Structure 1
Amino acid sequence: MYQRILFPTDGSDITAKALQTALGLAKLTGAELCVLAVKEPFPYSAISEMQPIPPQEFFDTQERIASARVKTVADAAAAAGVGSKGYTVEALHPWEAILEHAKAQGCDLIVMASHGRRGMSALLLGSETQKVLTHSTLPVLVVR
């Protein structure tokens, strides 16, 4: 049924809940789990003297955090007997990176968490999950 499932992670508790669903589905179908963590780009400003931290320190920290998130999921996949590959990418818009990565890796399903915003904040802020749902040509399973 599914051969490659993309699982984007941001390290949140709700993402950990979605991981159990992704692992169960991957195990059931024999699919490989492609784990993705998206890193923030450096917040460049016109006044370079006012940067709170040097760019390389920012990049190193972002990579360390993203790699740790991917490793946590990869370890859980290994414990569940599911094959996985991990990736980190930098992107201004995580939803775009998720869709591009799914296409590049030949994924046939995206499993991701809903972040459960309600009311006015949902209307104004939206979510990366909502944007993936809106723009994806692949099936997307959203776990609440």
Structure 2
Amino acid sequence: MYKRILVPTDGSDITQRAITTAISLAKLTGAEVFTISVKDPYPYSAISEMQPTLPQEFLDAQERVASRNVAAVKEACLAVGIPCTAHTVESVSVWEAVVDYAKQHGCDLIVMASHGRRGVQALLLGSETNRVLTHSTIPVLVVR
């Protein structure tokens, strides 16, 4: 069945449900969990006269948040004896980072959360989960 399960995390409450599901599946199938948190690259438009944000400060803050997110998944896995590999990655495109990571690490399932946006809201805000579903060649389990 599944041997390498990827669960991306952004630290949100909805993502916690996906993490719980991924850990439960891993426990049932004897799989290893992989987790990533995608960091935004520095937005050079953030430099302004009003409120300059230095690149290193921005990148450090992104790394702190992403590291905290994957550490929480790793701790949850270790608490129940599931092996977990955690990474933070920088990308302008979350869905591409998730799909690429899954391919590079031989994952055979992606477990992701969805906020369940529909209609105009989904069109305007987009959906990283929907893009992963569209572009992934491996199964994706969507948790709401």
The alignment's TM-score, normalised by the length of structure 2, stands at 0.94
* 2:79 pairs with 1:85: no
Q: Which residue of 1 aligns with 2:52?
A: 52
CA distance, structure 2, for counterparts of residue 26 and residue 76 of structure 1: 12
Cα offsets for 1:98-131 (capped at 9, x unmatched) = 0000001110100010111122111232210000
Cα RMSD for the two superposed structures: 1.4
CA distance, structure 2, for counterparts of residue 104 and residue 27 of structure 1: 23
- SS of structure 2 residue aligned to 1:35: strand
Percent of residue pairs bearing the same amino acid type: 62
- SS of structure 1 residue aligned to 2:85: strand
Structure 1 residues not aligned, in runs of 5+: none
Q: Which residue of 1 aligns with 2:132?
A: 132
- SS of structure 2 residue aligned to 1:56: helix
Q: Which residue of 2 aligns with 1:113?
A: 113
Cα offsets for 1:59-102 (capped at 9, x unmatched) = 11101110000000100011122110000000001000000000
- Quote the offset at 1:143 in angstroms: 0.4
CA distance, structure 1, for counterparts of residue 113 and residue 101 of structure 2: 17
Matched residue pairs, number?
143
CA distance, structure 2, for counterparts of residue 131 and residue 48 of structure 1: 30
CA distance, structure 2, for counterparts of residue 34 and residue 27 of structure 1: 13
Paired residue type of 1:138 = I
CA distance, structure 1, for counterparts of residue 121 and residue 127 of structure 2: 10
Paired residue type of 2:15 = T
CA distance, structure 1, for counterparts of residue 47 and residue 102 of structure 2: 35
- SS of structure 1 residue aligned to 2:44: coil
Structure 2 residues not aligned, in runs of 5+: none
The alignment's TM-score, normalised by the length of structure 1, stands at 0.94
- SS of structure 2 residue aligned to 1:106: coil
